[in-house]
């Protein structure tokens, strides 16, 4: 059976997110889970925060959430997840492509879609190789990593932040990004999506030792 993809009307997005809340809670580790109320409130009141759904027979089987950083000419993929029962059918790839195409309409002259993702761990610490497969999934669809950027994920549940990749699916032929832009996008993520205002320590850990230009690899 086929799947349908759509962007949810802003007036209905916060209510529709409740339909996919179970997928959200089952798809991410606790350290990356933000309170549902924080997400639904942003969907309701922030005009730049958008929900996308994948449906089969009117049942939501996947979703993505995107923030349009219009002042930075970039989109940020906040979350994307597929119901476990519908994985390994190409649904994730198609939902990502749909989200990418929609983001180009939401952000004029966008350089690409940025996202954070867990770094691969050694096999014994990566249950069933999930982290490795996840990074490989995005790379197959054109994603590149910010070289030598140790992005520190704000953790709302414990004191220690996690060292993550920042990656981008570029819409232009980009070989590198300016350090100043990388700092601005990280500040935007911390403050807008995590409501993390005391970002000085995390930002310092992230940008320590960075060169003036950040290669995309």
Please name each of the domains of the chain with its CATH number: 4-215 (3.40.630.30)
Spell out the residues 6+ positions from residue 48 whose beta carbon is closer than 8 angstroms to its own: 67, 68, 69, 70, 106
Indicate if the pLDDT at residue 104 is higher than 90.
yes
Predicted confidence (pLDDT) per residue in 154-163, tens digit:
877 766 788 8
**pLDDT at position 128:** 56
Could you count the other beta carbons within 10 Å of the beta carbon of residue 53? 23
- Other CB atoms within a 10 A radius of the CB of residue 157 amount to 10
Instruction: State the pLDDT confidence band at 196, using cuts at 50, 70 and 90.
Output: confident
Q: How confident is the model at residue 204 (pLDDT cuts 50, 70, 90)?
A: confident
User: Which residues are CB-neighbours of 138 under 8 A, at least 6 positions away?
Assistant: 96, 115, 117, 167, 169
- Buried-exposed string 175-195: b where 16+ CB fall within 10 A, e elsewhere: eebeeeebeebbebbbebbbe
Percent of the chain beyond pLDDT 70?
Answer: 92
Report which DSSP code applies to 160. S
Structure-token pair, residue 192 = 């807008």
pLDDT at residue number 124: 46
How many Cα atoms sit within 13 Å of 170 on the Cβ side?
12
Mean pLDDT of the residues in the chain = 91
CB of 178 closer than 8 Å to CB of 148? no
- The single-letter DSSP state of residue 58 is T
Structure token digits, residue 68:
């349009």
pLDDT band at 205 (very low <50, low <70, confident <90, very high): confident
Chain center to CA of 140: 16
The stretch 70-89 carries a mean pLDDT of 96
**pLDDT for 198:** 67
- Res 122: pLDDT: 47
Segment 46-68, tens digit of pLDDT: 999 999 999 999 899 999 999 99
Contact at 8 Å (CB) between 68 and 7?
A: no
Structure tokens at 47: 């005009």
**Residue 8 dihedral angles phi and psi, to the nearest 5°:** -85, 135
pTM to 2 decimals? 0.92
Residues in the chain: 217
pLDDT tens digits, 105-149: 999 999 999 999 998 764 444 555 777 888 999 999 999 999 999
Kindly provide the b/e burial profile for residues 7-46, where b requires at least 16 CB atoms within 10 angstroms of the residue's own CB: bbebeebbebbeebeebbeebeeeebebeeeebbebbeee
| Exposure on the CB side of residue 168, measured as CA atoms within 13 A | 24
Judged on CB neighbours under 10 Å (0-12, 13-18, 19+), 156 is: middle
């Amino acid at each position: 059976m086929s799947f349908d993809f759509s962007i949810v009307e802003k007036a209905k997005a916060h209510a529709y997110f409740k339909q996919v809340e179970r997928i959200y809670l089952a798809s991410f580790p606790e350290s990356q889970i933000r309170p549902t109320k924080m997400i639904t409130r942003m969907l309701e009141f922030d005009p730049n925060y958008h929900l996308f759904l994948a449906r089969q027979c009117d049942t939501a089987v996947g979703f993505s959430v995107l923030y349009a950083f219009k002042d930075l000419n970039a989109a940020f993929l906040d979350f994307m997840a597929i119901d476990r029962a519908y994985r390994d059918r190409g649904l994730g790839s198609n939902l990502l492509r749909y989200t990418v195409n929609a983001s180009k309409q939401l952000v004029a002259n966008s350089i690409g879609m940025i996202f954070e993702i867990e770094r691969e761990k050694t096999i014994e610490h990566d249950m069933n190789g999930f982290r490795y497969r996840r990074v490989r999934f995005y790379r197959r669809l054109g994603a590149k990593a910010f070289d030598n950027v140790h992005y520190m994920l704000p953790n709302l549940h414990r004191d220690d932040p996690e060292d993550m990749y920042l990656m981008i699916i570029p819409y232009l032929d980009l070989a590198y990004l300016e350090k100043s832009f990388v700092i601005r996008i990280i500040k935007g993520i911390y403050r807008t999506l995590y409501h993390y205002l005391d970002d000085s320590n995390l930002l310092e850990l992230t940008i320590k030792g960075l060169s003036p230009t950040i290669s995309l690899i």
